[in-house]
Structure 1
Amino acid sequence: MARRGTVRAGLAFALALPLALGACGGGSGGGGGTAAGDPDTLRVLDYYNDEPNRSVWQGVLDGCATEVGVSIERESVPGEGLIQRVLQASSSRTLPDVLMLDNPDIQQIAASGALAPLTDFGLGTEGYAEGVVDASTYDGELYALQPVTNTIALFYNEQVFEEAGLTPPTTWEELKTTAAALTEGDRYGVAFSATNSYEGTWQFLPFMWSNGGDEADIATPETAEALQLWVDLLRDGSASQSVVTWGQGDVNDQFKAGNAAMMVNGPWNFGSLAENPDLRYGVVPIPAPEAGGTVVSPFGGEAWTVPQTGDEEKMAKAAEFVQCLNSDENVVAASVGTNTVPTRPELTDDAVAQVPELESFAEQVPDLRARTGQLGEEWPAAATKIYTAVQNALVGGMTPEDALRQAQDG
């Protein structure tokens, strides 16, 4: 999920309500007022409350403010409160001038009419990964630009592997045999998040998509085969039964403590893992169903948009500001500072040269897939079906085929 690979609950319902169109750099972060106000001040709204994201993006935002010739008033709200804040601002005509959105939310907010097409201001998508462009496009119009992204891969404990004389798995069969071989005492072979939430869906998608599964219809042999892999890992004890309640943070804690030899997780954990000086780990792509197969993972991260404030002059400046946030220099700085990867493959070498641990994530960028790319506004319903089926197969006693069929038809 991005670190937030989730779509806020209730978003689809909230957007069904009528929306009236009309958010810490140099400012104190108030975010009040109307869309009018000082023509040389842009209000920015995001959810980068944690470190290093808050400070890194502060530097990028301040730099762009200088380049564009404006002051900024930045407000950062908790991630779970961003969408409600956007809805309230839209109805009261107090939308910010520059708005950051989690990428799965872009199409739904665009459908409400709250965003301006970036193509109206001459912004384009040359060089961006196809999946990133898909998520930022609604009804044929581009509504956002996303500088950096993240996804998930397979972390492995190098010391444990060396002692066992094993190499990281590259196929599903190797994953099963390696996880079984490394399960010993209090240590499980592999850990992942199969929680009853969008986070569980996010972690399952690389297995489903890489095997040819389709979110439009999950009741297929391809998706059932992917789900059977997870069932087998639990059934033979290679993965803890607790994966059905573990979020990605819990999975990281288990790996960090040495309770799992491998984990499926993302680069946002680098900082936490560094807190254990005795832990040596490597990162490789999630194993493919068969040798040589392409691994298709979801991309996470956030994109920047220009809301419809009604002030054409400030919207033009806001678009220039968004373009600046996506400059080569700022993309690499954000990537290195926040342990993410550029959404333009041509920039990944610069980022990986500074943070080598990003390599396995960066090499996936060309094949990353947008969660909303096929279903758009219908994605939240599909994501719910997926995690419901996973839960029913792992703890509900249903076969993968029955669990997927029931979820699809339900």
Structure 2
Amino acid sequence: MADAKKLTVRSDHGIKIKGFDFVSGDNITFTFLSLILQQNGKYWGENDHVNFQTPEAKKAMTALTSLITDDKVADLTTFGGELDTSDYFFQGNSAMTYRGPWTIAAGLNTYKVKDFEYVPVPSFTTNPPSFAAESGWGLVAAEKSKQQKAAVDFITYISSNENLLAWNVSTFTVPAKKPVAENPEFLKANPYMKTSLDILQLGQWIGPIADRDFFFKTINDHFQLMACGQETVEAGLQNIEKTINESQDQHK
């Protein structure tokens, strides 16, 4: 954060270069949950309800909104725009950006940027940098499909270690299979991925979310209100919890 403050460049119209850009649809929620986990906190209560009334949740959200309200190393100007936060980074509009490794491909191939590093984010506490994680993409064959054998054959083909290795190397994605992740050729071909592989064991399932889009949108909407001073952290967390839990109940 000390570096982020030094690297933030301002103009008469606001922030010209963000010191640490973390404001995107996925990042706000994932960072919030990870900051709770790194305090050894929990955010799930009983009956598949979230619990954001804990000291850990309050501290996490206060820290997150403070990056905008107090530290002023980022803002909401590009949130929800057509470009990804990584695009702004590779265009030179942010000094540090919180994003997944798949965005590296755009930097190298689309923007032809070479002078950057992909590094781990330090833990919020002295505990290891635990994080919330979702499952990834999946391929399935319908049981009633008239072309079931062809579909299964394709899935078998594309999910072989050899083909997955080629896929993960070219797309800068985290391997779904351990033999691929542990293959020395993977890191040899794509050394940027070491940052992600080194922390995989610290990932924890994000939990029994009934409606993924609604869950993330609810947190994002109230984060913006809190970051703009239209809602306190306490009120924002109460509203997030109430809204999500109502959605959880509706989906049971």
Report the TM-score when normalising by structure 1. 0.49
Structure-1 residue corresponding to 2:5: 180
Q: Quick check: 1:389–1:400 contact (8 Å CA) kept in 2?
A: no
Which residue in the other structure is 1:319 paired with?
A: 152
- Could you say if the C-alpha distance between residues 367 and 331 of structure 1 is closer, same or farther in structure 2, counting changes exceeding 3 Å? farther
Report whether the alignment pairs 1:401 with 2:226. Answer: no
CA distance in 2, matches of 1:280, 1:261: 12
Partners of 1:306 and 1:319 within 8 A in 2: yes
| Count of residue pairs brought into register by the alignment | 229
Structure 2: which 5+ runs fail to align?
Answer: 11-15, 45-49, 244-252
Structure 1 Cα separation of the partners of residues 82 and 190 of structure 2: 22
Which of 208, 221, 237 in structure 2 is aligned with 1:388? 221
Counterpart Cα distance in 2 of 1:283 and 1:248:
23
- Residue from 171, 182, 191 that aligns with 1:338: 171
Which of the pair is proportionally richer in strand? 1
Structure 1 segments unaligned to the other structure (5+ residues): 1-175
Q: Which amino acid aligns with 1:236?
A: D
Q: Which of 62, 66, 89 is the matching residue for 1:228?
A: 62
Quick one: which amino acid aligns to residue 265 of structure 1?
Answer: R
Alignment RMSD: 2.9
The 1:278–1:319 alpha-carbon spacing in structure 2 relative to 1, beyond 3 Å, is closer
Cα distance, 1:344–1:247 mapped onto 2, change above 3 Å: farther
Q: Distance in 2 between matches of 1:217 and 1:237?
A: 27
Larger radius of gyration: 1
**Counterpart pick for 1:214 among 29, 43, 58:** 43
- Aligned to 1:305, the other structure's residue is in SS state coil
Conservation of the 8 A alpha-carbon contact between 1:309 and 1:315: yes
2:73 aligned to 235, 239, 242, which one?
Answer: 239
List per-residue Cα deviations over 1:158-180 (Å, max 9, x = no partner): xxxxxxxxxxxxxxxxxx22212
Q: Percent identity?
A: 21
Where 2:17 maps in the other structure, the secondary structure is coil
1:361 pairs with 2:187 = no
Q: Which residue of 2 aligns with 1:133?
A: none
Shift of 1:324: 3.0
Moved segments of 4+, more than 6 Å: none
What residue in structure 2 maps to residue 262 of structure 1? 96
Could you tell me how far apart the structure 2 residues matched to 1:220 and 1:308 are?
45
Trace 1:9-408 onto structure 2 (pairs within 5 A). Answer: 176-185=1-10, 186-195=16-25, 200-202=28-30, 204-211=32-39, 212-214=41-43, 216-242=50-76, 245-246=79-80, 249-274=83-108, 275-277=110-112, 279-299=114-134, 301-309=136-144, 311=146, 314-348=147-181, 349-371=184-206, 374-408=207-241
Asked if the contact 1:199/1:248 (under 8 Å) is kept, the reply is no
- What SS does the corresponding residue of 1:302 show, helix, strand or coil? coil
Return the TM-score normalized by structure 2: 0.76
